[in-house]
Amino acid sequence: MEEQWRIAAYEPEWKDIFNDVASTLRQSLGAYASRIDHVGSTSVIGLDAKPIIDIQISVLDLDDTRSYKHKIENVGFVFREDNQDKSKKYFREIAGTRRTHIHVRQVGSFSEQLTLLFRDYLREHPEDCVRYALEKHRLFALYQHERTKYVEGKGPVVWDIIQKAHLWSQEVGWSPSVTDM
């Protein structure tokens, strides 16, 4: 699945892929998942992206991994205990299957809300989608074989967009819309 380490033009099928995976997750998790949302660049129509589906699952108690870990693993994902980001629990696809990142976050947490705000802002502001896509293409050309540098390089444009999203959220009274699944 290494062919997914590229920047691709937006594909409408990404939404269908999300819906299929999220539906399976919803069946497995039931009401334990307060929200299941398509996040990341593949969730923004028209935005070039790495063709990797990012799914955010919001739970009431992030630290209660006993309640959700096996339910996510049972539908084909592997818990990544080596994840250093303490604001989420992280799961990946089983080796050899389509690349999918599962981010489990606490309902109402800063990281959960910021992820949704960033997505929603980009969905409403195509000019920033273009700017973000151009930067991703530029960085990919520079760091195609250095993923960490590619990710770190996106920081300035991401934080600039987050600042704009913050101001926009105040102007429109933003709150997360209904969950995607």
- For 20-66, write each residue's pLDDT tens digit: 999 999 999 999 999 999 999 999 999 999 999 999 999 999 999 99
In a domain? residue 179 = no
- Provide the sign of the torsion angle of the four alpha carbons 77, 83, 129, 164, taken in this order: positive
Evaluate if residue 4 carries a pLDDT over 80.
no
In a domain? residue 177 = no
Q: How confident is the model at residue 3 (pLDDT cuts 50, 70, 90)?
A: low
Residues of the domain holding 33: 2-172
| Number of domains composing the chain | 1
In a domain? residue 181 = no
Residues 6+ apart with CB under 8 A from 22: 36, 38, 55, 180, 181
Q: For 50-109, where are the alpha helices, taking DSSP H only?
A: 69-73
In a domain? residue 178 = no
pLDDT of residue 1: 42
Residues 6+ apart with CB under 8 A from 101: 40, 52, 53, 54, 55, 90, 91, 92
Question: The domain that contains 113 carries what CATH number?
Answer: 3.30.460.10
Evaluate if residue 127 carries a pLDDT over 80.
yes
